[in-house]
A and B are shown apart, each in its own frame.
Chain A
Amino acid sequence: MHHACAAELRAILGADGLVEDRSRRTAYECDGLAFERRLPDLVLLPRDTPEAAACMRVLRRHGVPVVPRGAGTGLTGGATPVAGGVVIGTARMRRVLELNVTDRFARVESGLVNADLTRACAPHGLFYAPDPSSQRACTIGGNVANNAGGPHCFRYGNTTRHVLGLVVVTHDGEVLDLSEPDLDPLGYDLVGLLVGSEGMFGLVTEVTLRLTPSPQRVETLLAIFPSLDAACDAVSDVIAQRLEPSALEILDKLTIEAVEASVFAAGYPASAEAVLLIEVEGSDVEVEVNANEIEAILAGRGALELRRAQTEAERARLWAARKGAYGAMGRVAPDLYVTDVVVPRTKLRDLVHRTTEICRERGLKIANVFHAGDGNLHPNISYDRRDADELARVLDAGTRIMEVCIAAGGTLSGEHGIGLEKQQQMRLYFSPEDLAAMELPRHVFDPEGRMNPGKTLPIRACMETRTKPLDEVTR
């Protein structure tokens, strides 16, 4: 980092707004995808939009790459500074700027933790619907960058359906204010384009979000199945019957063992091959009607046992366990590779089967815990990144899983984004022309290629700042 640049930034942020020393910067060398790491030259922690914009102007003048970072809970390396440069963390920008109960929206700073928004609006009978498993840690800004999902997105849709507006600091330090919660965009839907752009179109500093009325009643059902296949079939049936639960999640045996050994143990039966966690919400009558029909389908598919959570505390425990599943897999091996693919919901059973086989063929340990209702699979592969051979097999399995899912009409990501992880596999899903079209807005929002460089779009020869593609890391 250029000395003069750092001094200018220090003048804007104060000494405690920068992380400069070698040791502390280490904490920013990766996100949840820990096998690819690179130390940022500097980390900036602005307190608000004007500070962030001032920093961006300085960084532009010095031609420094910028990597936006929320809480670093992403799973695709999206917040890893692969091309060096500066990480701008939003962890000190976490205010709720406006909570409009009548019009059901909130304006928040992008570093606000997802769960804290629901916590802030719950007393008013509202909640923020997207609920990634990391919602107790991940930030709204990170959710926007990845168009994050979560179990309840089955009913409510991913982040993009809930973002009404944004304030974004552009590559040159301009504050682009799109925060007004208009019914429809005036002109092009820049907000829609920016959501899911993985920090490559600017630094989002404020977000206007739609809030949803809390349902009158929520019922959580648990169905225990003798096989993963049966659980998948039950889900396909529920979808095909046009029923509308708010979440449909499957946990397999290995996942259950891991969470039941953790602080989040919730009483999932260790003997079950698969558990289907279903939530139904609405009025009392609606919940009863839906729950009864769903239970009939589950029984028809051979559920060994059906349970309903009896208390709010039990319900909370079941969900905490589901959401802690990824972390709990740390009990199995030091690292976890969480694949994120989506398949047609009519083909759930076959593809879960196939992905499991792909891992077994490579001698890898796989746990399945996923948003079955959306067809959003998460084969979780345990490994140890210190074992280069194992890592190579993991990446190979990941690619193979993506190939198989795409061949079946699926897609690369349902909620985690592309980042570094699936950059090369973008070619499996998109043609060169498709990818060239995606470069168009990128050139508009980032003409100098400084915004989160080396992410999402696959690398083309001799134009990229990134040093090496993922598959070379393991060689």
Chain B
Amino acid sequence: MDAATLVDYAKSLDCVHCGLCLQSCPTYRLTGRESSSPRGRVHLMRSVAEGEAPADADFAEEMEFCLLCRGCESVCPSGVQFGRMMETTRGALSEAVERPLVEQLSRSFGFATVLPSRAWLSFLAGLGRFAQQLGLPQLAGQLLGERGAALASMPTIPPANERALLPEHSPAEGPVTGEVAVLEGCVMPELFGRVNRATVRCLTAAGREVHCSRGATCCGSLHAHNGELDLARRLTRETVEAHEALEARVGTELPLVVNSAGCAAHLVAADHLFEHDADFAPRARAFARKVVDFSASLDGPALERLAARLSGGPARRVAWDDPCHLCHGQGVRDEPRRLIDLLPSVERVPLEDSEACCGSAGIYSVLRPDTAAQVFAPKREAFERSGADCLVTANPGCQLQWDAGLRRAGVTAPVLHIAELVAERLPDAPRSDGA
């Protein structure tokens, strides 16, 4: 491996080795191993770059063991850009590391074929739904043992009517407070169509004219995280172009409201992928500035309008769990709390370590289910101590992780996206948990 391209050496020099990041790191807390801590990983990277340590399989494993939650960035006084360093290193590693053929093929199929394609996503969702109806995953779980268990614990795929895509235009209810676009996402419509619809419902109730582009599918966030940088660039570029096209069609600049924290954190920094592409970089930068998280997009008159429309809804004691890529990735902390505290018949209770990773981490929970479950365990305990009867978050991966984790432990509390919690308090809304 080429040390020069493997590590963003200049960024590694930002670390003065103070160690304040250690406790923020889920993998360090899990293992007690400093090589699995942010400081340790940065030190490893720097050592590799300086030729003092080998860029071997152990190095690669330690880099991939990272959840990329970026919790360390929120406590780093020196401003080390850990997430970007890690994406660079993973990018170089994914080119260099020899993976077993099966893994190579499945990665390539997943990243290059399925995620970018609405057709593939819909097809597989339909297939999965069919298989789940037949009870095949449980069967696989029994037949295949550990590998099959992952299949058995897969999220339930909703019926076809819930998987319908968003309309390209949803009009504001009452006077218009602004025009926005929403990001539909790749997996979102297949698994969380209801969240997308709740998002639009909230926005229109807040007086937003909502547009939705069909021009792109996956934004490339998962790819960037997992070192598939070329694909990430392609997909991000498509997302930028689709948004530009939408703006051209509507005839005005549009903020892009994103209800998936992981995607938003990726897109608000989209320009970094194009640092060496002088032509596209300005377009990416302009685009990145328009990306806004769902809860952060609601302020001023829009928030007032929304508040005025809220009424009723099921009484809930909710615990808000900050998605890593919302609090660490975007620095959004107060807005979701502000929004929740507006809601009638909702009481928000504090959740200990709400900024710690739940273990979902994009597709990490699929690649390393055991680690993800261990990382999740203290989160569940904190939830149970909180006395809440409902967990609220704002990222599809976190929602799946929480849902599966609580079910496994026999906890029946619903896990909702913040948009769902709001939407169920709007006129004629169904209960979000279907109860």
Task: Give me the interface of A with B, judged by CB distance under 8 Å.
Answer: 16, 19, 21-28, 30-32, 34, 43, 45, 71-73, 89, 91-92, 94, 111, 113, 115-116, 134, 136-138, 258-259, 261-264, 324-331, 334-336, 384
Q: Does B37 contact A (CB under 8 A)?
A: yes
Report 26 cross-chain contacts, Cβ distance below 8 Å, ordered by A residue. A19-B33, A21-B56, A21-B58, A22-B53, A23-B58, A24-B44, A24-B58, A26-B43, A26-B53, A28-B34, A32-B16, A32-B18, A32-B19, A71-B22, A72-B39, A73-B18, A91-B32, A136-B20, A137-B21, A262-B77, A263-B74, A327-B16, A329-B78, A331-B14, A331-B79, A334-B13
Tell me the bound Cα distance from A325 to B37 in angstroms: 21
Give A58 Cβ to nearest chain B Cβ, in Å.
20
Closest CB in chain B relative to A385 CB, distance in Å: 10
By a CB distance below 8 angstroms, the chain B residues around A329 are 16, 78
Contacting A26 at CB < 8 Å: which of B15, B20, B47? B47
Contact A137 B35 (CB under 8 A): no
A336 touches B16 (CB 8 A): yes
Chain A CB within 10 Å — which of B15, B17, B75 has the most? B17
- The residue in chain B whose Cβ has the minimal distance to the Cβ of A384 is B13
Verify A328–B33 contact, CB threshold 8 A.
no
Could you tell me if A330 and B80 are in contact, using CB atoms closer than 8 angstroms? yes
For B53, list chain A residues within 8 Å (CB).
22-23, 26
- Do B18 and A263 touch (CB < 8 A)? no
Partner of B54, one of A23, A45, A137, A262: A23
B62 and A23 form a contact (CB under 8 A) = yes
Which residues of B sit under 8 angstroms from A91, Cβ to Cβ?
Answer: 28, 32-34
Partner of B23 from A23, A113, A324 at Cβ < 8 Å: A113
Instruction: Give CA–CA (A164, B59) in the complex, Å.
Output: 42
Which B residues are in CB contact (< 8 Å) with A328? 77-78
The 4 closest A-B pairs by CB, nearest first: A330-B78, A327-B77, A91-B32, A27-B40
Q: Are B35 and A24 in contact, CB atoms less than 8 angstroms apart?
A: yes
Q: A262-B79, A331-B79 are in contact. Are A32 and B32 (CB under 8 A)?
A: no
Chain A residue with minimal CB distance to B80?
A: A330
Residue contact A45 to B23, C-beta cutoff 8 Å:
no
Query: In the complex, which residues of chain A have a beta carbon less than 8 angstroms from the beta carbon of B78?
Result: 262, 327-331
Partner of A263, one of B32, B54, B58, B77: B77
A24 to B14, CA, bound (A): 21
| A111, B16: Cβ atoms closer than 8 Å | no
| B65-78 to A contact mask, C-beta < 8 Å, 1/0 | 00000000111111
Q: Given that A137-B23, A264-B77, A331-B78 are known contacts, is A23 also in contact with B35, CB under 8 Å in the complex?
A: yes
Complex CA–CA separation, A326 to B16 (angstroms)? 8
A26 to B18, CA, bound (A): 16
The distance in angstroms between the C-alpha atoms of A326 and B76, with both chains bound, is 11
Q: How far is the CB of B324 from chain A (nearest CB, A)?
A: 15
Complex: A25 Cα to B78 Cα, angstroms: 24
Q: Which residues of B contact A384 (CB under 8 A)?
A: 13
| B161 on interface, CB distance cutoff 8 Å | no
* A23 & B20 in contact (Cβ 8 Å cutoff): no
Shortest C-beta distance, B213 to chain A (Å), equals 34
Further pairs besides A24-B44, A27-B37: 7, Cβ < 8 Å = A22-B58, A23-B62, A28-B34, A116-B23, A137-B23, A328-B77, A334-B13
With a CB–CB cut-off of 8 A, which chain B residues contact A34?
16-17
Binary interface profile of B, 187-208, with partner A (CB < 8 Å = 1, else 0)? 0000000000000000000000
B352 smallest CB distance to A (angstroms): 9
Q: In the complex, are the beta carbons of B18 and A134 less than 8 A apart?
A: yes
Max chain A CB contacts within 10 Å: which of B19, B22, B35, B37? B19
Q: A111 to B44: give the CA distance in the assembly, Å.
A: 23
Q: Are B13 and A111 in contact (CB under 8 A)?
A: no
| Complex contact B19–A134 (CB within 8 A) | yes
- Are the C-beta atoms of A334 and B16 separated by less than 8 Å? yes
Which chain B residue has the least Cβ–Cβ distance from A17?
B32
Complex CA gap A32/B75 in Å reads 17
Distance, CA A115 to CA B23, complexed state (A): 10
- Whether A335 and B16, one on each chain, are in contact in the complex, defined by CB atoms closer than 8 angstroms, is yes
B52 at the interface (CB under 8 A from A): yes
Nearest residue (CB) in A for B18 is A327
State whether A327 touches B76 (Cβ < 8 A): yes
In the complex, A24 Cα to B61 Cα: how many Å? 10
Q: When the two chains form their complex, are residues B77 and A324 in contact, meaning their CB atoms are under 8 A apart?
A: yes
Nearest residue in A to B73 (C-beta to C-beta)?
A263
Q: Which of A30, A45, A115, A261 makes the CB contact (< 8 A) with B33?
A: A45
Contacts of B37 in A (CB 8 A): 27
- Find chain B residues with CB under 8 A from A136 CB: 20, 23, 75
Closest chain-A Cβ to B9's Cβ sits at a distance in Å of: 11
Q: CB-CB contacts of B1-45 with A at 8 A, as 1s and 0s?
A: 000000000000111111111110000100111110101100110
Whether B14 contacts A330 by the Cβ 8 Å rule is yes
Cα separation A328 to B79 with both chains bound (whole Å): 8
